Chains A and B, each alone.
Chain A
Amino acid sequence: MRSEQMVRFPFRPLGASRVHRKVVVVGAGPVGLTLAIDLRLKGLDVTLVDEDDTVSTGSRAICWAKRSLEIFDRLGVAGPMVARGITWNTGRVFHRDRQVYEFNLLAEAGHAFPAFVNLQQYHVEEALVARAEALGVEILWKHRVVGLDLREAPTLAVETPEGACTIEAGWLLACDGARSQIRKLMSLDFKGQAFEDRFLIADVRMQADFPTERWFWFDPPFHPGGSALLHRQADDIWRIDLQLGPDADPAEERKPERVLPRLRAMLGPERPFELDWVSVYTFQCRRLERFRHGRVIFLGDAAHTVSPFGARGGNSGVQDADNLAWKLKAVLAGLAPEGLLDSYDAERGPAADENILNSTRSTDFITPKTGASRRLRAAALSLAGDHPFARSLINSGRLSVPTVYLDSPLNTADVDAFSGRACPGDAAPDAPLGDGWLLPRLGGGDFTLLGFGTDVETSVPSVAAPISGLAAERYDATVGTAYLIRPDQHIAARWRHPTPEGVAAALARARGVSR
């Protein structure tokens, strides 16, 4: 979306030169908005500060993973996103002029949401802003953070069109992106790796009946030596991503006389299209060593950045918000000690590492840097047609899946034997339940005990599921099985035959009350 098409949100001055706010979120991108909505739904007063007064411009995140959609559903915003976006499950990978393999990211039925919905980040933000406003989040547009004083409560120096003001925050949640101002003001190291290859992004508007799949080419005839991606977004906009190599001149490559021939070669000379957005980018994989610094907590790109291959940036940020919101609520409500917030770092730190590892491996495959890695890749690609094993090596992006918090201090280790994938630390799998879905019944405001023919007394709400069917299958349930589900719909504990004492102990552990 071009900037002239965008709605400007109203600047509202605070009306005082110094204010105190209990919870301040900086950055009204997808992560900050998700967090603000989640905290507001949990009954907290939330202030969201953003330097701009519009949703984001241009090409940014487009692929929203199943887990993000489930989180958005919990926040009451998934419906319009799915309706407006492009649902897809299938990806195809081509080498030169032939397909080497295809993959289906959600091969089984019985889930409310698909593997992915593509929707431009600005549309996602529009839906989130509308929801945040309706819920009464205080959104301060055109408030730019210029200073941070951490001697007592985190205190922000803010500039606005009508002068400066000071916001003292009980808790400061930095969701202000890859170039986080809060991170800079605290002089925190952002360690990692910068990659040299440049990529061209062109979002084009065109009528095309290509299937709604992710298509990725290595060394295609229309772009020899490079990689290419074609992916549909809403409103007949298509994302095209072309590898340009490390020596490309970004200013030159952005010019229409350079871009248009590249796109005509890809789309065919006959197909009419118009450019909606062009940019040339490089990327970095970096993270903060710690995401929590006392009463300042970092989320999303402010805490960790990845390459775009795998759609792990926006989706991991949304999961950061999902992870932190219930913990902060529990601490502020006096239900949990402040130490519970350290489990945000203990769970989302390894998640960031996993995302960085996957996106770095994809980058190494897509942009091989040595003769040996080029030969190895050529070998894998040339074998993939006739030898199915080689397809597993071809890495055009390992697409975002929720991180399993395997080593979380909040997990209660299994005492009973279970098979199946839904282990403590994992995101609870969805399944049909009655005439709806299981996930909307789990978590949200409080812990939930999901029981399959269980009758155990607990202090938390319980949900009963039948002992046969997809839910029972996905949870490896037998009569009496129960799962303790956290407010973020991750699994805290499970039993074949739970006792009230066992459930209470697991609950205390998951709230950070006991170790």
Chain B
Amino acid sequence: MTKGIDRPDEVYEALIELHRGLDEDAGRRADARLILLLAAEIGDAETLKRLITAAREET
């Protein structure tokens, strides 16, 4: 069950800020670190695998 994002504009701004001053490679490493941190917050392997599948289904 997706919770949705509280204060989405604030979160979106923070996600852009994550990349401030980083070159592309450093930015992608930061994204990867964030993915792992979020995965640890979610914890449940089945949920994570479902989200990973959804991420590949670009429409």
Contact = CB atoms under 8 A, between A and B. Distances in A.
B16 A389 contact: no
B24 A398 contact: no
A376 B16 contact: yes
B5 interface: yes
A17 interface: no
Given A387-B54, A389-B2, A389-B4, A361 B59 contact: no
Contact of A395 (B12, B18, B27, B31): B12
Q: Is the interface of A mostly helix, strand, loop or mixed?
A: helix
A371 to B, nearest CB: 6
A419 interface: no
Contact of B19 (A372, A383, A388): A372
B4 A365 contact: no
Given A372-B27, A382-B59, A387-B2, A393 B16 contact: no
B29 to A, nearest CB: 12
How many B residues touch the partner, as a band? 20 to 34
A99 B4 CA distance: 20
Contacts of B2: 387-389
Contact of B16 (A373, A382, A385, A398): A373
B12 A365 contact: yes
Interface in A380-420: 380, 382-383, 385-389, 392-393, 395, 398
B37 interface: no
A358 B8 CA distance: 12
A370 interface: yes
Contacts of A365: 12
Given A382-B58, A382-B59, A385-B59, A372 B8 contact: no
Which of B11, B16, B27, B57 lies at the interface centre, i.e. has the most chain A CB atoms within 10 A of its CB? B16
Contacts of A361: 9, 12-13
A197 interface: no
A410 B16 CA distance: 37
Nearest to B11: A393
A386 B59 contact: yes
A364 interface: yes
B39 interface: no
B12 to A, nearest CB: 5
Interface string B16-54: 101100101001000100000000000000000000001
Given A385-B59, A386-B59, A393 B12 contact: yes
A373 B19 contact: yes
A353 to B, nearest CB: 14
**4 closest residue pairs by CB, A with B:** A372-B19, A392-B8, A389-B4, A372-B27
Given A371-B24, A385-B59, A392-B5, 20 more contacts: A361-B12, A361-B13, A364-B16, A371-B27, A372-B22, A372-B24, A372-B31, A373-B16, A373-B19, A376-B12, A376-B16, A382-B59, A386-B57, A387-B2, A387-B54, A389-B4, A392-B4, A393-B5, A395-B12, A398-B9
7 contacts: A358-B9, A370-B16, A382-B59, A385-B59, A388-B2, A392-B5, A398-B9
Interface of A: 358, 361, 364-365, 370-373, 376, 380, 382-383, 385-389, 392-393, 395, 398
